[in-house]
Amino acid sequence: MSRGRIVFPGNPWPEGHAVETFEWTARVEDGEVWFDLHLVSAAYYAERDIEEDPDAPEDDSWKAPGVWGNYHRCTLSSTFWGERGGFRVGPPAQVAAAALDGAEFALDPVEDEIEDGEDLAFGLYLLGHDSAVDHRIRFVRRGDSERFDILWSGRIALTYVGRYRPDYRFEARIDDVPMPVLPAL
């Protein structure tokens, strides 16, 4: 059962793709809480097929359904490829559901191009091993519970094919996610 969607504006599926897997975990490093997120979309063609437009420009892989189909699904994760990053939240005493409500984290800002080999908070497999930057991750608490809706957006560079400028975007909404239990210190 899908708990959300991820959309890549300008790609062949304006309605986006169901989120098939989502994990929100926490760890403590050097006395600080770090969050990790792991998102996997459903297969790009899972909800509907799209015919290739024979008149489409050949050099625009972002708009080509066949290119998307070659890579099957998206994985956006700080854990899938080992210890990629994640993001620092703060001291354990300050990480509570009430304090997290409405909190927004801005990660990996990039003005022009991503530097080759740059350590990023998340790895991305989209149209190959690409790069995601300029993340905005917002946590919206559901009532007084310890469950959240997560709004996550960012920009994408198609680094797999040598494009280091983040010219594309993603927007994800994942609903009703339990806050992870913080590890014991």
The pTM (predicted TM-score) of the whole model is: 0.93
Residue 10 has pLDDT above 80, yes or no: yes
Q: What is the 3-state secondary structure (H, E, C) of the chain?
A: CCCEEEECCCCCCCCCEEEEEEEEEEEEECCEEEEEEEEEECCCCCCCCCCCCCCCCCCCHHHCHHHHHHHCCCEEECCCCCCCCCEEEECHHHCCHHHHCCCEEEECCCCCCCCCCCCCCCEEECCCEEEEEEEEEEEEECCCCCEEEEEEEEEEECHHHCCCCCCEEEEEEEEEEECCCCCCC
For the chain, give every domain's residue range. Answer: 4-178
More confident residue, 59 or 40: 40
pLDDT tens digits for 99-115?
999 999 999 999 899 98
* pLDDT score, position 57: 62
Q: Span 39-68, mean pLDDT?
A: 83
Residue 61 has pLDDT above 50, yes or no: yes
pLDDT tens digits for 109-132?
998 999 876 789 999 999 999 999
Residue 53 has pLDDT above 80, yes or no: no
